[in-house]
A and B are shown apart, each in its own frame.
Chain A
Amino acid sequence: MKVNNITSLTIERAGEIRELYLALIEKDKGGAIDLGLLAEIDLAGIQILVALVRDATARKRDVRFTGALRPEVTHRVALSGLSDTACSTGEQLESAIRALL
């Protein structure tokens, strides 16, 4: 599995994806993560993304979210209250997370 191929960011796969993202900021020194294929996300998944942004910032790694978010992901993000307005892109999601950290 590659960081840009993730289709599901839920509790079932959270451990696996955490390892993937950790490798990105430890070994690859950061990079862009395309969330365009992400079809489902839950709170565990949102937490992973928050922790990733926090960790990357602390390590001064450049991690960016890109891609157009699918409606289901936008809906879940909105439900959690992460953003006042609907996040329809990875960039918007990243900004929303950074605003709360």
Chain B
Amino acid sequence: MSDSKFIETFKEEALELLGTLEEKLLELEEHPEDKELLSAIFRVMHTIKGSSAMFGLDRISSFSHEVESILSALRDGKLGFSKALIGNTLIARDMILEMLERPEDGMGAMPEDLTRFLDEFRDAVGFKNQQEPQERAPVAPETVVGEKEPKRHKAANLETWRIQFKPGKDMFRRGTNPLALIGELRNLGEAVCIPLFNDVPTLSDLDPEDCRTAWEIFLTTTATENDIRDVFIFVEDCSEIHIERLGDLVDESAPGGKKLGEILVAEGKIDKAELERVLGSQKRIGEILVEEKIVSTTDLKVALEEQKQIQKAQKNKTAATDMSTIRVKSEKLDQLMALVGELVTIHAQIMQAASNNRNHENDELISIVEQFGRLTDELRSNTMSIRMIPIGTTFSSFKRLVRDLSAELGKGVDLVTEGGETELDKTVIEKLNDPLIHIIRNSLDHGIELPETRRERGKPETGVISLRASQTGASVYITIEDDGNGLDVEKIRNKAIAKGLIKSEDVLSEQDIYRLVFAPGFSTKEQVSAVSGRGVGMDVVNRQMEMINGTVEIESRAGEFTRITLKIPLTLAIIDGLLVRIGKEHFVIPLSVIVGCLEYNCARDGSERNIVIFHDRQLPFINMRDFFSIGGDRPSIEQMVVVNIKNLHVGILVDLVIGGNQTVIKPLGKLFRQAEGVSSATVLGDGSVALILDVEQIVGAREKVAQ
């Protein structure tokens, strides 16, 4: 691999780490007491520092080191938690991200602006970056016996180790500081160190130059056993050191892990008979054992910690088997999808050719082609599922946006999300990012009122923006709602008249007025701000949604709320469709909206109002020949495809239902994007083109006409 490829690889990993860092910082802001979160944040910064140094990105490494020192002080209790610390760490994270965008910016000495930022950061949180003498810097030792540079960490190799360290009695006389070794271990990962003072006698019996303290240490780290042994390399001849991997102690058949009593029996601290006697009483086993002086408080503490660590290791073991992942470039996925699409089309062509020349000799061929079709179907499903990711990842990234912008605007805003587990094609999610940002920015700027205004209106001072995702059929609905000002219909109308978009005498529905906000350059804001007001945002939303065959709908009530609903196709690639014929043309109806099919005999069942009885209920239907103005003779027996649109059953009347079709979606050109009733197209087995019906649009259009 060339240098640039190494750096690219580091950049990908670092971007992921920075994403995690932001998420965890925002969580820590809500839960400052969570030590595990703090450790996780420290580990991320530590990893970025080490990895960037490895690839010669010294500027990033030095910068990360300074930030890591501040986080280390927080972790060790030398610094108190503050919003300034979170805010500045977030800014530091952004700065690292900027340096990553241009790797050449990550090299060389730190420029003045970064140094100035670091000084301001330290001042803001009260951190004094003192240079500590050698044996007094155990948490971040610069030069200590047996020192090793922090290793590059990969989250996938995290393991928990139990280390029993009993320094020899002459440890002090040899000039070794055991606390420095404890500090080195803490540097390797997250450590719980329990000192054992059992051998420390009374003061009258103590020789102060004897080392009488031992430790039980539980270390969660990506370091190897050798890395851990290296810490003790210069003292192993005069100390008792025992290192075991806690994962090896995990008994997968015991779902809750080892019980406390079992651990104490295994350690030889109590015997089984005593255990059973104590369990017979009502109190917790640990309390009783200590009360009766069967075990010491320290023994109990060690056993409890081991129990906790084993349970954690057990949970991680289960999670690890579910979460083994591999990183793949999205271009490779796109290529794979394209090839699968071609395979589906070729299969259709082979099937067509075999069917056209059907005789008893090629029955076997047809059978083989059908088998081939089933495999293609499975390949298609698997490939598509690789590309599906939960939209919650996008939702999480908006927490930072809402936090920063609401602070800038002096407003209190909570972001509530729901349905984050809803999965969408990766390409669709990427294209959704910009529209969602624009809508949220508008909500923050135009929608949510200032706290004083909200108070006057009897609303809670903190506004709410909610993001919801749900799936129905082949579409995903994403709703962005705020409990703010709502849309001012009059203001929009007047602005539209002023811009010449409509005339004053035009009569428009509320929906039509709302849709005026999508016009390029349209804004009712008096002043442009950094947040919004240029009239660009909603135009971008509209255009992006068009590009992904999606739609936007706005609902609002003045003074109460604004709700924007984006309807997006699940995937841009391949769907299961039903091939139908209307006149001489072929069309595809997405299978996900179809609930059934029935025959329609116009002479027998015909009605002026286009209604038939289906499952004892009235079923309105749309004659697609009328919809598309297709002339020619109607067949005597037609087919009614019953679809479900927003919980309403409607019939789609066609000439003939041909059969199922794996439909590779091809977008329509710009010229045809406004065509009513069709969303896209596909290429059939014989090379002809079939249009894919937008059933929701068809039903909607007919409802308007009916009204």
Contacts and interface: CB of A to CB of B under 8 A. Distances in A.
B239 to A, nearest CB: 13
B138 A79 contact: yes
Given A11-B172, A82-B195, A47 B206 contact: yes
A25 B297 contact: no
B51 to A, nearest CB: 26
Given A78-B76, A100-B301, A101-B197, A43 B177 contact: yes
Interface in B136-161: 136, 138-139
A48 interface: yes
B669 interface: no
Interface in B251-305: 297-298, 301
A74 B78 contact: yes
A13 to B, nearest CB: 9
B10 interface: no
Contacts of B202: 51, 54-55, 58
Interface string B541-556: 0000000000000000
B184 to A, nearest CB: 11
A6 interface: no
A76 B179 contact: yes
B203 A55 contact: yes
Interface in A6-47: 11, 14-15, 17-18, 21-22, 25, 40, 42-44, 46-47
Given A55-B202, A72-B136, A74-B77, A80 B182 contact: yes
Contacts of B197: 47, 50, 54, 97, 100-101
Given A15-B209, A25-B203, A81 B136 contact: no
A86 interface: yes
A1 interface: no
A57 B404 CA distance: 55
B136 A86 contact: no
A75 B195 contact: no
A17 to B, nearest CB: 8
Contacts of A50: 197, 200
Among B138, B206, B213: residue with most chain A CB under 10 A: B206
Interface string B188-219: 00001111010011111110110111010100
B186 interface: yes
A78 B77 contact: yes
Interface residues of A, number: 37
B30 to A, nearest CB: 20
A79 B179 contact: yes
Among B78, B203, B213, B298: residue with most chain A CB under 10 A: B203
B183 interface: yes
A72 B136 CA distance: 9
Interface string B34-72: 000000000000000000000000000000000000000
Nearest to B196: A100
Given A11-B208, A51-B201, A75 B78 contact: yes
B590 to A, nearest CB: 58
A54 B200 contact: yes
A80 B209 CA distance: 18
Contact of B208 (A47, A54, A58): A47
Contact of B209 (A44, A81, A82): A44
B178 interface: yes
Contacts of B201: 51, 54
B206 to A, nearest CB: 4
A75 B182 contact: no
Contacts of A81: 182, 192-195, 215, 217
B706 to A, nearest CB: 70
B232 to A, nearest CB: 15
Interface string A56-93: 00100000000000011011101111100110000000
B208 A79 contact: no
Contact of A14 (B177, B183, B209): B209
B139 A79 contact: yes
B283 to A, nearest CB: 19
B208 A100 contact: no
Contact of B172 (A44, A51, A100): A44
Nearest to B128: A71
B357 to A, nearest CB: 80
A11 B203 contact: no
Contacts of A11: 172, 208-209
A48 B208 contact: yes
A3 interface: no
Contacts of B136: 40, 72
Contacts of A25: 203
Contact of A43 (B194, B206, B211): B211
12 contacts: A17-B208, A44-B209, A46-B213, A47-B200, A48-B208, A51-B206, A72-B136, A75-B76, A75-B139, A79-B76, A99-B297, A100-B301
Given A43-B172, A50-B200, A100-B298, 15 more contacts: A11-B209, A14-B208, A18-B206, A43-B179, A47-B197, A47-B208, A48-B206, A55-B202, A76-B138, A78-B76, A80-B195, A81-B195, A81-B217, A82-B195, A85-B77
Interface of A: 11, 14-15, 17-18, 21-22, 25, 40, 42-44, 46-48, 50-52, 54-55, 58, 71-72, 74-76, 78-82, 85-86, 97, 99-101
Q: Nearest 4 pairs between A and B by C-beta?
A: A81-B193, A86-B77, A14-B208, A55-B202
